[in-house]
Amino acid sequence: MEKLKIYKIFGIIISVLSTLCVGAAIYFVYLLHKIETFYRIMGSVLLVLFLIVIVYSIIESIISRRKAKFFVSISFGIVLSLVAAATATVIGVVYSKLDRMSNTSDEIIYKTVLLSLEDKGAINEISGLKIGIVDNEEDYVQNVLPLEVIEKNELSKNNTISKISDAITLMNMFLNKELDAIFISPNYKEMFKKIDGYDENTSFVEITTYSKKYEKKEILDEDEIVEASEITKPFTILLLGVDSDDEIMDPNASFNGDTIMVIAVDPATLHVTMFSIPRDTYVTMGCGGNITKINAATWGGTYCMVKTVEKLTGIKMDYYVNINFKGVVDLVNALGGVTIDVPMDFCETDSHRWGGVSQICLTKGVKHLNGEQALAVARHRKTLPTGDFQRGQNQQVVVEGMFNSLKNIKSVTDFYNVLDTVSKNIETNMSTNEMLSLYNFMKEILVKSGDVKPNITKTYLTGYSLMDWTGYYDTYTFQYYRHSLNSIVNALKVNLGQATKAEIKKINFSINTPYEREIVGYDFTPEPYKVQMKDLQDLKLEVAKSWAESVGLVVTVKYNDCPCKPFYHNGYVLHQSIHKGTLLERVSNRLTLEVARLDDEACALELANQNNSSSTDPGDSNTDNTDNNQTTIPDNNTTPENSGTSNGGSETPDTDNNDNNNSGNENNTDGNN
């Protein structure tokens, strides 16, 4: 009787355990929504049938007191529990790793820091400081949150609040100590690396930090909020390469976007189109409307970059993917390496930016590369003939190599290694179910191995180089050719099914010419240069005003009564409010010209009298005849004192030697400087 009681207890435990394990397995199998639906249903049904049979057998063996049957049933129950538990565990791990990458929260958290170069005391103690914020009501980090901090702590009472046009100028003024403190992103060290003259040994003091949580619907337009759905139709991904030491990717943090790539994917045809956007491309920001380099959009967080790329291309970015550059190393290694054609001999720092014995050196030719080597190819630009443009092409080659290396995944262990690497170094707004819905796309690549490869269309954005005066120095910019961008955008739309590909009716080829795949957008047909501000100083007012009005500027003239000096002439321009070399499309169309006003004839007589009175005795020929009060007339290449002013009206040195770019009618025959 005592043994029967023990058998009953043991049978109940195994039955309950089997039921729980089977239930967990069915739940996790259900999470794999629409992945191998037939097999999922059949597997679930079989698990339930086995469970029913085993539980019934345990109960029946106890009632009939058949010891042998009882132990056989218990053994099958244990095996069923182990199989079900293993199934639930495997699926659960996969799902959790995918879920870790997904950022589908309905909330966005923004943070700002009040930064200074020396200790100014606590936030409630600071006084007499000039504090800078960015004059952009769409910038939550450098405008919206700072204004809340200023109001909450009444900083405007004892301090001066200066609104600066853009973040670059803000940081330059801060480093030049024209501002005592600024509000900036907590990731400010990465931002300062892009500022010329920044010393990485500079010490900063964080006076205070402030964060606030917003609903996405408060920040984003309705059409920008991605609703979780299955991916069955063509879609776009904005891939952003991020240099980050953080283990967790923060989509709201500022970072330097050195890799900006739009990828259009058609999961049905395995057709992929990739568009690398050079980081120095001058564009209109999607948040605020300023015109600046596109990589500056990442300073406003991922969503600012998404808006900016959408504004540039006119194509909605369905998803974004932030990938840590250092994670590329682990991912390529987990894939067993990548095979790519290295374009040239070069050396590059490793993933930690270390050179010397740690640097990566490669030779030209087809190579099978490990993670560090692949990252070196994707990063290197300094010795490339076309710099950032060729780097964009190399990044596309590395991504293509990673696609092709997916076929190397042959076991569950390989799959786990890849998934674990990806989950640690990628952050995306793609939901877990959306990632799972890509299963069939990946299956075509994995199962059919080398027989099926994605059909990848590469692109190349052409344009010309232009130096733009940004208030402190001339900065290099890339101005794209509109026709090149249009070709690339059309190719993306064709891939997405939003446009029809032009029919090719005639093909020219030669058996002696090796076949090369078309690179969309690779067209250097020149377009007129964008108009930059000319140096109008020392020109007659009529000439200066005529040119200014011809480029759409509204001219205001201010006359200055000038003393009689050799370099002052009545009616000639002394100063201009827009510095020469400034790209006119990004500044106000109002130009103020300060013009000299004096009597030329009277001054000529006065100067002649001054020269006569300062003449030395003819007999004293060995005496130094230099007059300390005499001013030498500058030659045509000399810029008069205070000849240039920044947009803020302060005096700035003239450093522009790029006069040949000042004409808006010149064509660039090279197209890629």
Classify burial at 379, counting beta carbons within 10 Å of its beta carbon; exposed 0-12, middle 13-18, buried 19 or more.
Answer: buried
Last residue of a domain, one of 101, 125, 155: 101
Interval 478-507 mean pLDDT: 87
**Residue 165: pLDDT band by 50, 70, 90 thresholds?**
confident
In a domain, 514, yes or no: no
For residue 540, pLDDT beyond 50: yes
CA distance 550 to 576: 16
Residues 254 and 173 in one domain: no
Mean pLDDT lowest among 112-116, 188-192, 261-265, 548-552: 188-192
Could you tell me where the DSSP H helices lie in 280-344?
A: 302-313, 325-334
Residues 88 and 57 in one domain: yes
Note the pLDDT tens digit of each residue in 31-68: 887 677 888 889 999 999 999 999 999 888 888 888 88
Residues 33 and 118 in one domain: no
Check: CB of residue 265 under 8 Å from CB of residue 463: no
Note the pLDDT tens digit of each residue in 310-350: 999 999 999 998 888 777 888 898 888 999 999 889 898 88
For residue 624, pLDDT beyond 60: no
Residues 76 and 178 in one domain: no
Give the pLDDT of residue 80: 93
Give the pLDDT of residue 529: 92
Nearest to 380 by CA among 366, 402, 365, 398: 398
Give the pLDDT of residue 251: 55
Last residue of a domain, one of 219, 242, 258: 219
- Helix, strand, coil percentages in the chain from 3-state DSSP, rounded to 5: 40, 20, 40
In a domain, 578, yes or no: yes
For residue 538, pLDDT beyond 70: yes
Q: In which element (H, E) is residue 146 found?
A: helix 145-153
Residues 202 and 229 in one domain: no
CATH number at residue 172: 3.40.190.10
For residue 246, pLDDT beyond 60: no
Q: Name the 3-class secondary structure at 210.
A: strand
Comparing 604 with 503, which gets the higher pLDDT?
604
**Residue 113: pLDDT band by 50, 70, 90 thresholds?**
very high
CATH number at residue 333: 3.40.630.190
Mean pLDDT lowest among 148-162, 201-215, 327-341, 593-607: 593-607
In a domain, 511, yes or no: no
Query: What residues pair up with 339 in beta bridges, in sequence order?
Result: 368
How remote is the C-alpha of 620 from its chain's centroid? 72
**Residue 257: pLDDT band by 50, 70, 90 thresholds?**
low
Provide the token pair at 92: 């659960």
CA distance 475 to 579: 13
Residues 367 and 403 in one domain: yes
Interval 19-35 mean pLDDT: 87
Going from the C-alpha of 345 to that of each of 362, 376, 386, 526, 556, the distances in angstroms are 6, 12, 15, 31, 56
Residues 76 and 130 in one domain: no
Give the pLDDT of residue 88: 92
Comparing 478 with 607, which gets the higher pLDDT?
478
Give the pLDDT of residue 662: 37
Note the pLDDT tens digit of each residue in 230-240: 677 899 999 98
Last residue of a domain, one of 39, 70, 101: 101
pTM of the model: 0.74
In a domain, 538, yes or no: yes
Give the pLDDT of residue 219: 65
**Residue 30: pLDDT band by 50, 70, 90 thresholds?**
confident
Domains in the chain: how many in total?
4
Residues 425 and 279 in one domain: yes
Comparing 531 with 473, which gets the higher pLDDT?
531
Residues 213 and 273 in one domain: no
For residue 381, pLDDT beyond 70: yes
For residue 625, pLDDT beyond 50: no
Average pLDDT, the chain: 81
For residue 513, pLDDT beyond 80: no
In a domain, 624, yes or no: no
Give the pLDDT of residue 255: 62
Comparing 253 with 371, which gets the higher pLDDT?
371
Interval 281-308 mean pLDDT: 87
For residue 630, pLDDT beyond 80: no
Identity (one letter) of the amino acid at 20? L
Check: CB of residue 59 under 8 Å from CB of residue 120: no
In a domain, 520, yes or no: no
**Residue 614: pLDDT band by 50, 70, 90 thresholds?**
low
Residues 365 and 465 in one domain: yes
In a domain, 518, yes or no: no
For residue 652, pLDDT beyond 50: no
Map tokens 């004839």 to a residue: 601
Residues 146 and 272 in one domain: no
CA distance 404 to 454: 8
For residue 483, pLDDT beyond 60: yes
Give the pLDDT of residue 492: 96
In a domain, 301, yes or no: yes
CATH number at residue 593: 3.30.10.20
Comparing 602 with 50, which gets the higher pLDDT?
50
For residue 672, pLDDT beyond 90: no
Structural domain boundaries enclosing 60: 2-101
For residue 146, pLDDT beyond 60: yes
For residue 5, pLDDT beyond 90: no
Check: CB of residue 22 under 8 Å from CB of residue 80: yes
Residues 188 and 229 in one domain: no
CA distance 476 to 140: 27
